Chain A
C-alpha cells in the first residue's frame, strides 16, 4: 500500500493504493450516491448509481469498483453523470411497484433518497404493473419481489456474511428474480433466518414482520447492548418505540461477530410469549401467592440463615449478578456453583478470537454443534471454508456441519484429523462439552499453530468462570436450594428439588417456578444492566433498553439485599 494523490471535484485527496474511488471519496467526506454498494459486502458495480467521470478514461466509471490511481482527476456530479443516474432511477422506478405511499420503508428507503437527491418528481416511463409474489413463508420476515431492485445485496450478504448460500438470482434481464435455493418458498429453503439480508436491503423488498410500519428512523430509539442468547456475546442494536421492542439489528463494526447475528439473537427473543413474573411470590398454605419484596426477601433470608443451602446458577445473567451470587454464598459459607457444564480450557495452544476462524487454514469441530447452539461461530466456519480452509468434524454421529466439511470422522479415527492438520499454518480447534480427552491429547503435538475456541452451553460462562463458579452436582442431602436465573425444565431436576425448600430468582413462569417456595422476579435480557463477558473474554455492557416492570428488581440488587439480611 502506498499513498496516492488525486483530486475529486477539484479537491485534493490523499488515498491508499488499492482503495476504490468510492472509499477514497467517503474518507474525504465526499458523498457519492450508491444503491448496490454496502460497506460490509463485496463491491458489485451493478446499480450504476455511482457512475462518475475520471479525466482521460473512456466512458463513466463505477466509483465502487474503480481503483484509485495517482494523479486521477475525478468529477462526481458532472452533467453526464447526473443524467445517467437519473436515467437509472427512472428505469428502476418504472420496473416494479415503487409506490411509496403504501411501502413500509418510505422515509428510510435508499431508493427513495436517491430519487429525492436527483429531483425525480414523477415516473418517466410506463409501468408494466406485473403482479409479483410476496413470500411470507418464513415466520420473521417477508420477501416482496415487487419492491426489489435486484441490487443483490441480499445475495451477497447470504454468501459472504453468513456464508449460507441460500439466495441467488434466477432468470435474466427483465425476468430476473431473487430466489431461494432452486426456486422454492423461502420457508422451505436452506435459509437459516439470520436476517443479514433483511438488514442490508435498501428498499422495502425485505420486510420485518414485527417492525414494519412500526416507526421510521426518525421516530425510533436505538440502544446497543450485548446478546445473551449464547456464550458468544454479539453486539445488538435494539430498536424501540414507545417502550416497545421493534427490531434487533447487528452492528457492523462491533466485535466479535461484526454485524452477523443469528435467528436466536435477532428474532426469537422478540417473540417470547412465556408468561412473565412481575411480583415476588411466596408459598402460603401450599399455594404460591404474590407478595411484597420485604416479605419475600425476609422469608428467603430466614431460610438461608438456617443453613444447609446449595446455590445453583445458570449463567444467563450479568457478571455483577454472578459476583453477588458468589459473595452471598461466601458470606454464609454455603456451596454455590453452576448448573451447566463448562467445556475445559486447553493447557496448550492459544485462545482463539472468533475472527481467528476466518484466517485459519484448518478448522476442527470436535464434540460441538455450533450450528445449533452458537450459530454465529458455525457461520464463521462456513465463511472460512468458502475461503479455502479445510474443515474437519470429529463426531460419532452425523452433524449438520458435516455437509460443509472436508472430512468427518468418528472419535476412533481422530488421529486422521491430526495427520491432515499437520501441515496447516493455523489450526482452530472448536469444541464443546462433548469433546473427549483423547482428542485433546492428540492435538497437543500441534500446539504451536493451534488456536482453541471452547463453546460452553452457559450463556455468560466466561463471566461465571471469572468469579470462580464451577459446575456443581446437585447435593441430594441439602434441604434448601437457591436457583439463580434458572429456566431449566429438566424433569429429573424438578423432581429432586421438589422435596426441598427452593428459592428461585427468574424471569418467566416455568414448572420450576411453579413448585418453588420463594420466587424473586428478575429482569429480561433487554432490561438488564451490568456487564457480560464475551466468548473472547471481553467485558461488554448490558444496557437497559426498556425499563423493568414495577416489581422486578435487578439481579445483583436482589442478591446484595439478601446478603445484607444475613
Chain B
C-alpha cells in the first residue's frame, strides 16, 4: 500500500479539532507510515498542492468569503473530503451569530462590549467580507464524510482515517458518532 496524501485546513474554528487529531498520540507514528501530510495549518505548505491529495480535511464553518474559497479549493484538489467537527458539519457554535443581524453582531463585538473603549468596526480592503450567516462546509461544497463532535474524539478521527486506509468508506455509529462534547 502506497502512502496516501492528506491535506487539512481550518476555517471558522477554534483549533480544537486539530488538537483532537494530535490526541491520537502514538498512533500518529503508525499513521505516518501510511500517510503523507501535505498542507495543514501546522506545516509550511498553506494550500493543498495543485496536483491534488487523496483526503482533504476541513475543520470549522464557513463564516467569510475567504473560508468559502478555501473550502472550494480543497474540494477541487482532494478526492475524499471530510468535514471534521461540529463547525464544519453544521456551522456549529459559530452559528450563534446567525440569530442576529450581521450589523448587530459587529457593533456588539467591536463597540459595545464592556471592555471596549473607543471601539470601531474594522474596515479594510484586505479584510475578507463576512457572510451574512455562518454555514457548514456541506452548504457550500459536496462533503463525502461528516465527522461531528466538538471536537470529535481522537478515537473517532482514527476510526475514519484507518477505515479510509483500509479502502472503506467509514460508517459512523456507536461511540464514534457523537455530537458536541457528548464524546467526553
Chain A interface residues (CB < 8 Å from chain B): 97, 99-103, 106-107, 112, 115-116, 119, 121-123, 126-127, 129-131
Contact = CB atoms under 8 A, between A and B. Distances in A.
A126 B133 CA distance: 12
B172 interface: yes
A106 B90 CA distance: 16
Contact of A121 (B92, B139, B150, B177): B177
Nearest to A109: B182
Given A101-B180, A119-B171, A122-B143, 7 more contacts: A99-B93, A101-B86, A106-B180, A107-B181, A121-B172, A122-B138, A123-B136
A126 B178 CA distance: 21
A94 to B, nearest CB: 10
Contacts of B178: 116
B89 A101 contact: no
Contact of B148 (A97, A102, A121): A121
Interface in B98-120: 98-100
B34 to A, nearest CB: 24
Contact of A122 (B98, B146, B181): B146
Interface in B49-96: 83, 86, 89-90, 92-93, 95-96
Contacts of A131: 99-100
Interface centre among A122, A126, A127, A130 (most CB of B within 10 A): A122
Tell me the dominant secondary structure on chain A's binding face: loop
Interface centre among A100, A106, A126 (most CB of B within 10 A): A100
Nearest to A118: B173
13 contacts: A97-B99, A99-B180, A100-B150, A101-B86, A107-B182, A121-B89, A121-B148, A123-B89, A123-B90, A126-B139, A127-B95, A129-B95, A129-B133
Interface residues of B, number: 29
A102 B93 CA distance: 7
A122 B138 CA distance: 9
Contact of B182 (A97, A100, A123): A100
B46 to A, nearest CB: 27
Nearest to B143: A122
A31 to B, nearest CB: 15
A447 B136 CA distance: 71
A97 B133 CA distance: 15
A121 B146 contact: yes
Nearest to B92: A101
Contacts of A127: 95, 98
Nearest to A124: B138
Contacts of B89: 121-123
Contacts of B146: 121-122
B147 interface: yes
Interface centre among B90, B93, B143 (most CB of A within 10 A): B90
Given A99-B86, A122-B83, A112 B182 contact: yes
B163 to A, nearest CB: 14
Nearest to A113: B182
Contacts of B92: 99, 101
B171 A102 contact: no
Nearest to B87: A101
B180 A122 contact: no
Contacts of B180: 99-103, 106
A116 B100 contact: no
B98 A129 contact: yes
A182 to B, nearest CB: 27
A106 B173 contact: no
B3 to A, nearest CB: 27
A119 B173 contact: yes
Contacts of B99: 97, 129-131
Interface in B126-184: 133, 136, 138-139, 143, 146-148, 150, 171-173, 177-182
A121 B181 contact: no
Contacts of A112: 179, 182
A97 B173 CA distance: 23
A106 B133 contact: no
Given A107-B182, A121-B147, A99 B95 contact: yes
B130 to A, nearest CB: 15
Contacts of A107: 181-182
A101 B93 contact: yes
A173 to B, nearest CB: 21
Contacts of A103: 180
B149 to A, nearest CB: 9
Contacts of B148: 121-122
A29 B96 CA distance: 41
A116 B156 CA distance: 14
Contacts of A129: 95, 98-99, 133
A337 to B, nearest CB: 56
A99 B83 CA distance: 16
Contacts of B90: 99, 122-123
A115 B99 CA distance: 24
B61 to A, nearest CB: 11
B80 to A, nearest CB: 15
B95 A122 contact: no
A400 B173 CA distance: 53
Nearest to A146: B99
Nearest to A119: B173
A123 B179 CA distance: 12
A307 B21 CA distance: 77
A315 B181 CA distance: 47
Contacts of A116: 173, 177-178
Contact of A119 (B95, B136, B177): B177
A283 B32 CA distance: 76
Contacts of A122: 83, 89-90, 136, 138, 143, 146, 148
B115 to A, nearest CB: 22
A125 B90 CA distance: 11
Contacts of A99: 86, 90, 92-93, 95, 180
Contacts of A123: 89-90, 136
Contacts of B138: 122
Contacts of A100: 86, 150, 179-180, 182
A102 B182 CA distance: 11
Interface centre among A107, A115, A130 (most CB of B within 10 A): A107
A293 to B, nearest CB: 44
Given A101-B150, A121-B148, A131-B100, A106 B179 contact: yes
A126 B95 CA distance: 12
Contacts of B171: 119
Interface centre among A112, A116, A119, A126 (most CB of B within 10 A): A116
A97 B146 CA distance: 19
Contacts of A115: 179
